[in-house]
Amino acid sequence: MAETVLTSADLILPIFIHDREEILPVPSMPGVSRLSIPALVDMVGTARDLGIPCIALFPAIDPSLKTDDGSEAWREDNVICRAVAEIKRQVPGIGVLCDVALDPFTSHGHDGIVHEDYVVNDETVAALVRQAVAQARAGCDIIAPSDMMDGRIGAIRQALDEAGFDAVRIMSYAAKYASAFYGPFRDAIGTKMAKGRLDKSTYQMDPANSNEALKEVAFDLQEGADMVMIKPGLPYLDIIRRVKDAFKVPTYAYQVSGEYAMLRGAVDNGWMDERVILEALMSFKRAGADGILSYFSIEAARRLRAG
Ligand code: PBG
């Protein structure tokens, strides 16, 4: 009688990498580490063998390579591009999704180029286009702009097509909220601001808004997004349902770092039963998501396999 089914084919595994040999645990995300490229290749092989169809890559960039304009983002042999090429060479049969945004690469940690305390839209879009084309050239299958600038989906689609990458798909982070649930992620990629808080509320969405999410999704679809994403996940299940009902397009949810930290911490401390992991993932599917980005993907796929 089950109306909803969760399988390993619903999962996308986000992975943190860095350009170093050691494997560095992320303290606020027990069980998650920054990997070297060889360790990444192993993990991607494990994911593929468990039936996970796609992974998502996020870099922790050496502080010496970070600049105000984030230009490391479009250097063609940066760590992301080399990692993608290595996966494509060694692990056939699994998709690779790359995040497009400047935050891992900028000295200030914002997703775009800053002028006088403000992230400027159009100059940032031009930079994102260069980043997306570099990633496609490295072999990335899905470009996922997470920056929330206006007009970037259309600009990236046009640039990808002109460069001959018409088969590269775009998953837009269409409704991305200015959320404190991203805290552990900012530890993982090293963008937590030393002083004060990194406030992205001039370009990410107000958690109070729901109609606005539909507007953002409509723009991105008009501009050529193949799939849309809502983020964070669990506190925004209502948005997933509204988007799915309104547009009926491939709709994804990101169970973000803070959601992982909450569940992981509670399970590891014995405060909640480990069944909460699959229950939370199932809730995304019930809400209408076609797939879920989750740091639990490998563990969840193993649990699903064990039955
Ligand atoms: C950056 C980006 C963020 C996440 C994915 N891409 C953080 C942010 O916007 O500050 C968050 C993912 C997570 O918390 O797991 N553009």
pTM: 0.97
- Catalytic position from the list 66, 176, 244, 285: 176
Q: Is 236 in contact with 161 (CB distance < 8 Å)? A: no
In this structure, the residue with its CA closest to atom 6 of ligand 1 is 146
List of domains in the chain: 8-306 (3.20.20.70)
Residue 80: C-alpha distances to residues 7, 10, 52, 139 (Å): 28, 24, 20, 11
195 is catalytic: no
Q: What is the pLDDT of residue 88?
A: 98
**How far is the C-alpha of 33 from the C-alpha of 22, rounded, in Å?**
10
Q: What is the pLDDT of residue 195?
A: 55
In this structure, the residue with its CA closest to atom 7 of ligand 1 is 182
Q: What is the mean pLDDT of each run of 10 residues along the chain (307 residues)?
A: 97 98 97 98 98 98 96 98 98 98 95 92 97 98 96 98 98 97 93 73 96 98 98 98 98 98 98 98 98 98 95
Q: Which of 106, 113, 146, 181 to mutate to test the pocket of ligand 1 (most atoms within 8 A of CB)?
A: 146
Q: State if residue 182 touches ligand 1 by the CB under 6 angstroms criterion.
A: yes
Residue recorded with tokens 């984030």? 70
Ligand 1 atom closest to the Cα of residue 183 is 14
Q: Which sign, positive or negative, has the C-alpha torsion 45, 46, 52, 54?
A: negative
**How far is the C-alpha of 83 from the C-alpha of 72, rounded, in Å?**
15
Q: What is the pLDDT of residue 193?
A: 65
The two structure tokens encoding residue 154: 């259309």
Residue recorded with tokens 């072999």? 139
